[in-house]
Structure 1
Amino acid sequence: MARSSIIVIGASAGGVAALRSLAAALPNALSAPVLVVLHIGAYRSELPALLNAAGPLPAKHAEDGETIFPGHIYVAPPDRHMIVADGRLRLLRGPKENCARPAIDPLFRSVAESYGSDAVGVILTGNLNDGALGLFEIKRCGGVAIGQDPNDAAYPEMPRSAAEHVALDYCLPLAEMPELLVELVDRKGKVVVMPKTSSQLDGQEPEIINGQIFERPLTVTCPECGGALKKFEVGSIVKFGCHIGHSYTAEIMATAQFEEMEKVMRAAVRFLNERAEFCLQMAEHNGVAEPDASNDWHAASKQALDRAYKLRDLVEQEWLTPETSHRPVLAPDGSDRARFRG
């Protein structure tokens, strides 16, 4: 089996006790980093301190952009997805996945993408099924997929889902995992990479950037009411209509969509400006009485203003508008002489 250069572990309900037990049995000379996601939401987490107290490996909350070192445990901090990109840890406040942030799947996907067969994924106790898709990606890319024996887990749903949807290499009690993980990171051999699925072979695989999936939207929505639009073709005319009754030709749809997008982005600029002003007022309120708090409010104000400037610059850039640049130009007599703008 190939030398596995990274271990990723996902857990939810019952995970604190399981992770402490695992950390207590890992050696201080472990030749791979250990990345951990526990479903904690936006709540304060003491997990690194608990893991430090439990075993010999140093544990800490991950920091954005830091380098990953063997023999260290990195824990996803509250309200941030943790992924691996270009050999470094990244923290993202992206959309929740499986109602969780941090979630297990983003980390596992990014590790599958970055490490391939040099990855070991582990799913421990927990409810529902976060982690199953990410573990599948690790397995598909040639990595090692491990699940806690559901009968051994305090909450068996998560490891059971992993076993149902992934061809696990190992399914075993928690007590047997430390020895297995040490063996995996020190052993060499051959790993058979799972073939891509049919949807991936026919070009339908979603784009993955920095561990995040960017799927094509399921539909296009109405700029007026937000309802789903259906595309029709009437002769050579393409039109879109929603069930409320709003309808657009393709060109008018493109213009209406662009105007709505610009309105939303300018509203975001306004909100950022207002946040900057609010934070500035709070900084002035704290003043010299609470200098640390005042500095934090000043920093938050500056951050909001910087982002407002960046977003405003983005809105005001030139945009490609094929709906107008390729529209026929009518002659003075009103006839279409197949001349095009642009």
Structure 2
Amino acid sequence: MAANGSPVVIGVGASAGGVEALLELAGVLDADLPAAVLVVLHQPADAPTVLPGLMDKRCALPVRHARDGDDLVAGTVLLAPPDHHLLIVRGRLEVTRGPRENGHRPAIDPLFRSIAVEAGPAGIGCVLSGLLDDGAAGLLALVRHGGTAMVQDPDESLYASMPQAALEQVPGAIVRSVAELGAAFSDLATRPVIGGRRPDPRLVREVAASRAGANVDDEDRPDGPAAGLVCPDCSGPLFDLSEGNMLRYRCRVGHAWSEQSLSSVQDDGIERALFTALQALEDKADLQHRIARTATERGSTRTADRAREAAHHALASAGLVRDLLAEREAGDSA
């Protein structure tokens, strides 16, 4: 327990492959765990979830979705509801539809940052299986505020990307299999909490930006220079919040992006644009062929020749686009 009487807080983040990891984790948590466990799993906004019930059947602790205004209570497991971030704000839980982060709501980084601000050295963050790198930046912030970082062993993760990204930012994180996490949590939660420091004001502002109704005034824009990039969620300008080898960006209204997540969504946008261009070029060729046939029937040779030439150029350009798409597919499978 922290010096102020608040319980130790354990934040757990998971994505692809995370359901399996969370079900296994539920079965190894000790019944007398002296900590509040908060869980974020990437999930579709409109998908009903039975995960809390499934975890509750396997867990010695009560498991349910978090509710806005819940107290932090040791010996409970609370999950972020679909389409809501889960934060700690002034000692209570806040379930909020704030701006998406890394394309997700709920996202892992906002939870970890709020634990860093509210719990400091009494905070523990754990990254489980998942794609890309959500959780890495928040885990680093938590460690910088005296908290403890844990990572599922990438070798046993169904998807190792998130654990590996976390280890790149926090090389000293404790690495355990899911089967070993229950004992590790109990051990860490019973250790004396020593020290603590005033939260970084920039981190406090980032937590505020993850809440619904974040300010968008010039004075409240993100702490960083304009990045010259556009936010994929709102098309607003992104500001550079990068530190060292960790690239991060946030727009004025609060959408935030890590390096891998921004790159992934840009790749998706490029692919959509290429398919749109391919469709437009093939439509143009089809139309020009029709114009050529009609012109030929009217005896308008010059118009027919121009249309056939336009169709030829459109198909040639379409071929180039197809080649680009094939190169991208080959690169993805390499």
TM-score range with shorter-chain normalisation? 0.5 to 0.7
List 4+ stretches of structure 1 deviating above 6 A. Answer: 1-4, 203-206
Asked if the contact 2:113–2:207 (Cα under 8 Å) also holds between the matched residues in 1, the reply is no
Asked if the contact 1:84–1:210 (Cα under 8 Å) also holds between the matched residues in 2, the reply is no
Counterparts of 1:280-319 in structure 2, within 5 Å, are none
Match of 1:212 in 2: 210
Asked if the contact 2:67–2:95 (Cα under 8 Å) also holds between the matched residues in 1, the reply is yes
Asked if the contact 1:122–1:146 (Cα under 8 Å) also holds between the matched residues in 2, the reply is yes
Q: Relative to structure 1, is the Cα distance of residues 189 and 90 closer, same or farther in structure 2, using a 3 angstrom cutoff?
A: closer
Match of 1:104 in 2: 108
Shift of 1:208: 3.4
Asked if the contact 2:167–2:173 (Cα under 8 Å) also holds between the matched residues in 1, the reply is no
1:91 matched to 2:98? The reply is no
Match 1:24 to one of 17, 27, 42: 27
Match of 2:119 in 1: 115
For 1:208 and 1:118, the matched residues in 2 are separated by 20
Q: Relative to structure 1, is the Cα distance of residues 82 and 192 closer, same or farther in structure 2, using a 3 angstrom cutoff?
A: closer
Asked if the contact 1:206–1:215 (Cα under 8 Å) also holds between the matched residues in 2, the reply is no
Shift of 1:120: 0.5
Letter in 2 for 1:212: S
For 1:227 and 1:82, the matched residues in 2 are separated by 25
SS in 2 for 1:83: strand
Which one has a larger percent helix, Structure 1 or Structure 2? 2
Match 1:135 to one of 121, 139, 162: 139
For 2:121 and 2:169, the matched residues in 1 are separated by 19
Match of 1:33 in 2: 36
Match of 1:167 in 2: 171
Asked if the contact 1:2–1:118 (Cα under 8 Å) also holds between the matched residues in 2, the reply is yes
Q: Deviations over 1:209-267 (max 9, x none)?
A: 547396158389xxxxx998xxxxxxxxxxxxxxxxxxxxxxxxxxxxxxxxxxxxxxx
Asked if the contact 1:84–1:211 (Cα under 8 Å) also holds between the matched residues in 2, the reply is no
For 1:189 and 1:65, the matched residues in 2 are separated by 25
1:144 matched to 2:148? The reply is yes
SS in 2 for 1:134: helix
Q: Relative to structure 1, is the Cα distance of residues 190 and 94 closer, same or farther in structure 2, using a 3 angstrom cutoff?
A: closer
SS in 2 for 1:101: coil
Q: Relative to structure 1, is the Cα distance of residues 206 and 188 closer, same or farther in structure 2, using a 3 angstrom cutoff?
A: closer
Q: Relative to structure 1, is the Cα distance of residues 44 and 142 closer, same or farther in structure 2, using a 3 angstrom cutoff?
A: same
Asked if the contact 1:109–1:211 (Cα under 8 Å) also holds between the matched residues in 2, the reply is no
Match of 2:69 in 1: 65
Q: Deviations over 1:80-110 (max 9, x none)?
A: 0110111111011111111111100111111
For 1:89 and 1:159, the matched residues in 2 are separated by 26
What residue ranges of structure 1 are gaps of 5+ in the alignment? 221-225, 229-342
Q: Relative to structure 1, is the Cα distance of residues 158 and 55 closer, same or farther in structure 2, using a 3 angstrom cutoff?
A: same
SS in 2 for 1:120: strand
Q: Relative to structure 1, is the Cα distance of residues 215 and 72 closer, same or farther in structure 2, using a 3 angstrom cutoff?
A: same
Work out the percentage of aligned pairs sharing the same amino acid.
40
Q: Matched residue pairs, number?
A: 218
For 1:204 and 1:11, the matched residues in 2 are separated by 25
Asked if the contact 2:85–2:96 (Cα under 8 Å) also holds between the matched residues in 1, the reply is yes
Q: Deviations over 1:122-148 (max 9, x none)?
A: 000000000001101110000000011
For 2:207 and 2:111, the matched residues in 1 are separated by 12
Match of 1:176 in 2: 180
Q: Deviations over 1:145-193 (max 9, x none)?
A: 0011111111100000000011333112211111110001112265698
SS in 1 for 2:131: coil
Q: Relative to structure 1, is the Cα distance of residues 211 and 33 closer, same or farther in structure 2, using a 3 angstrom cutoff?
A: farther
The alignment's TM-score, normalised by the length of structure 1, stands at 0.58
Q: Deviations over 1:36-55 (max 9, x none)?
A: 00001312111110110111
CA RMSD of aligned residues (A): 3.0
Q: Relative to structure 1, is the Cα distance of residues 174 and 205 closer, same or farther in structure 2, using a 3 angstrom cutoff?
A: closer
Q: Relative to structure 1, is the Cα distance of residues 227 and 54 closer, same or farther in structure 2, using a 3 angstrom cutoff?
A: closer
Match of 1:251 in 2: none
For 1:176 and 1:205, the matched residues in 2 are separated by 31
